[in-house]
Amino acid sequence: MPVSTVRRRADYAQALLPPVYISPPVLPVPTVPAPLPVRPTPFLKWAGGKRRLLAEIFYRFPQEYGTYWEPFAGGGAVFFGLSPARAVVSDINAELIRAYTALRDNVHGVISCLRRHVPTEAHFYRVRSQQPHGLTDTEAAARMIYLNHTCFNGLYRVNRRGEFNVSFGRYTNPTICDLPNLLAVSQALRGVDLRLQCVFTIEDDVEPGDLVYFDPPYDPVSATASFVGYTRGGFGREEQVRLAEMFARLANRGVHVVLSNADTAFVRSLYGDFRIDTVAAHRAINSRPDRRGPVAEVIISAGGAS
């Protein structure tokens, strides 16, 4: 019998055998978020940003906690550096929370809008004159990012009518669309509860064992140092007192609370019953270059983090 015939019969016999199914390996279900390909960093420049103080702040955070709360979102350096499993991020700045939400829900739409912008003075002022309420969420988010990355000194400031009023900056080649970081930011925001909310309204929702990081507008170190132009409202001494009282109530309920502020006698008087540590912070955003550099700040902690 020819060899080819034997092979064909063997193949036929093999085909008549019942099929063998190989089950895929059972992989363990991850209990922590998958690592991000790019570590997210703030997508906006923000006065008082905490990127250079993350190690100091995280040192005062507990190793275990429930939900992470950040009610003064700002640029989000602490949130993005921490990347918590459960988080509530809020702010009273409606345009800011709208940008966070658009990046969470439709980052590719934001990227598409950003790619239409160019770093020219004429285009800058055309975009600045737009009213955010007349734009889609992705357009409004792209507008905010574009203006922030091309305006003078990276400031975010609004006038009494809530209109962005910073002038055009002189940059050689500003980064308008940082694609890898925007994608990482969007991934970090998945599942995060984003709220347009006043800090004083979160108290009833915070549970014992949660972690709250407060980064309020700072108490001014001098009569001319106050800068609260991020919303039409302000955050003065009365609000600082209310915040200190809420800080104490949360700590007494078993909430981990950590707060940053300026190192002033007034702030120290408000938090005298808690741990106060002095740290040196570098400030890069100031209209006067001679006033940029290290300044003294305090980190106050209580509850399980103290």
* CA nearest neighbour of 66 among 211, 258, 192: 211
pLDDT score of 283: 64
What does the pLDDT look like over 64-96, one tens digit per residue?
Answer: 999 999 999 999 999 999 999 999 999 999 999
pLDDT score of 292: 55
Report how far Cα 58 is from the mean position of its chain's Cα atoms: 15
pLDDT at 270 > cutoff 60 = yes
pTM over 0.75: yes
C-alpha separations of 152 from 124, 170, 194 in Å: 11, 7, 28
Mean pLDDT on 149-164: 89
Dihedral over alpha carbons 220, 152, 117, 111 (to 10 degrees): -30
- Res. 10 pLDDT band, cuts 50 70 90: very low
pLDDT at 31 > cutoff 60 = no
More reliable by pLDDT, 18 or 255: 255
- Over the chain, what is the mean pLDDT? 86
pLDDT at 9 > cutoff 60 = no
Per-domain residue ranges for the chain? 51-305
Report how far Cα 242 is from the mean position of its chain's Cα atoms: 24
At the topology level, CATH places domain 51-305 in: Rossmann fold (3.40.50)
Collapsing DSSP to helix, strand or coil, 294 comes out as strand
What does the pLDDT look like over 126-143, one tens digit per residue?
Answer: 999 999 999 999 999 999
Q: Beta strands 293-302 and 256-262: pairing type? A: antiparallel
For the beta carbon of residue 89, count every other beta carbon within 10 angstroms.
24
- Res. 253 pLDDT band, cuts 50 70 90: very high
pLDDT score of 161: 86
Q: What is the percentage of the chain residues whose pLDDT exceeds 70?
A: 80
What does the pLDDT look like over 45-58, one tens digit per residue?
Answer: 988 889 899 999 99
Residue in the block written with tokens 């741990």: 275
Q: What is the percentage of the chain residues whose pLDDT exceeds 90?
A: 69
Task: Provide the token pair at 199.
Answer: 């800090």
pLDDT score of 250: 98
